[in-house]
Amino acid sequence: MKLTQLAIGQIARIASVGESPFKEKLQEMGCVAGVLIKPILKAPFGDPIAYELEEYTLSMRRNEADSILVKPLDPLFNPS
């Protein structure tokens, strides 16, 4: 599942960062396999999106977030 498909507040683990012009930049910002990530805010038109990543907030555009594949955690760990 792509990172952009997560609902606000839904927690997931990054599976991989796909090949894109943003790959190196995203990895330098902490988007690496195994890290927990959660969308927390969306701009009025859906771009950019703010994500909670480890212990900081990261904002990225949809075209950057589309290259990140995630595995959602069990609903037990996500708010309803």
Per DSSP, the residues of 45-69 read: TS-SEEEEETTEEEEE-HHHHTTEE
Structural domain including 29 reads 3-75
- Check residue 79 and give its pLDDT: 57
* CATH code, domain carrying 48: 2.30.30.90
Number of structural domains the chain divides into: 1
Residue 80 falls inside a structural domain: no
Whether residue 13 has pLDDT greater than 80: yes
d(CA 44, CA 53): 21
50-70 pLDDT, tens per residue? 999 988 999 999 989 999 999
Q: Largest alpha-carbon pair distance within the chain?
A: 35
Q: pTM value?
A: 0.83
